[in-house]
Chain A
Amino acid sequence: MTVVGEILMLIGGIFLFLGSLGLVRMPDVYNRLQTGTKASTLGAMSIGLSAMFLLPGAVGKAVLLVVFIVLANPIASNTIGRSAYLSGIRLSEKSVSDAWGVQASSEAEMVEGAADDATSTGAAPEATDKKGA
């Protein structure tokens, strides 16, 4: 049991480190959001699961912590990404596609045409191919 908990803790530390490394290395807000939230979610979840094995009497709290991490981290990253996109933060030049497609249209109808652009560009993904290669 102790060995399982320590291995889970090591996996959690490795994934937290890799997430922060991607946070430094990635070129864009959205890519940084990708690495900084997904890998950190897995790392913190693994460390919370290791508390279930290494800390007797805290199984309920560990389960509560893991459920909270799984629920809260995607909501926070979704809010940050949506807010950054609607604020006009540009994608990097190496981005292949822009599935929402609001930034390609005019910025005045950014809010009103958001749902329509999402459905129309989802049907034709080659129209948003910014790289062209």
Chain B
Amino acid sequence: MITISLILIGLSAVLTVFRLIKGPSLFDRLVASDTLSVIGMAFLVVLAEIVQTTSYMDVALVYGIVGFLGTVTIARFFMRVSK
């Protein structure tokens, strides 16, 4: 089960990186970056369950917080309302 879940997480990271490279506009890349941070957080939780170490949960939480703040900051920064 854990192996299948890790394979699925890796495939989803590859697909998200494909969108991150290919995306036509900046917001496509921003959506891909946000999804990639969520995937990384999920991978850290799975890693904590594999090695049975609680500290990786803290790493996952801090990673999620930093990814969320970065996404919101970039999205607010590139909002051009006047054309």
Interface residues of A (CB under 8 A from B): 5-7, 9-10, 12-14, 16-17, 19-21, 23-24, 29, 32-33, 36-37, 40-41, 43-44, 47-48, 50-51, 54-55, 57-58, 61-62, 64-65, 68-69, 72-73, 75-77, 79-80, 82-84, 86-89, 107, 110-111
Contacts and interface: CB of A to CB of B under 8 A. Distances in A.
Contact of B1 (A7, A61, A107): A7
A72 B1 CA distance: 28
Nearest to B25: A89
B46 to A, nearest CB: 6
B49 A17 contact: no
B58 A9 contact: no
B57 A61 contact: yes
Contacts of B13: 20
B38 A82 contact: no
- Interface-centre pick from B11, B42, B46, B68 (highest chain A CB count, 10 A): B42
Contacts of B34: 36-37, 76-77, 80
Contacts of A43: 38, 42
Contacts, number: 174
Contact of A79 (B15, B25, B75): B75
| Closest 7 pairs (CB-CB, A-B) | A13-B5, A13-B8, A20-B12, A6-B1, A20-B15, A84-B27, A83-B79
Contact of A40 (B38, B65, B71, B79): B38
Nearest to B22: A24
Contact of B12 (A9, A19, A64): A19
A37 B38 CA distance: 9
A25 B59 CA distance: 31
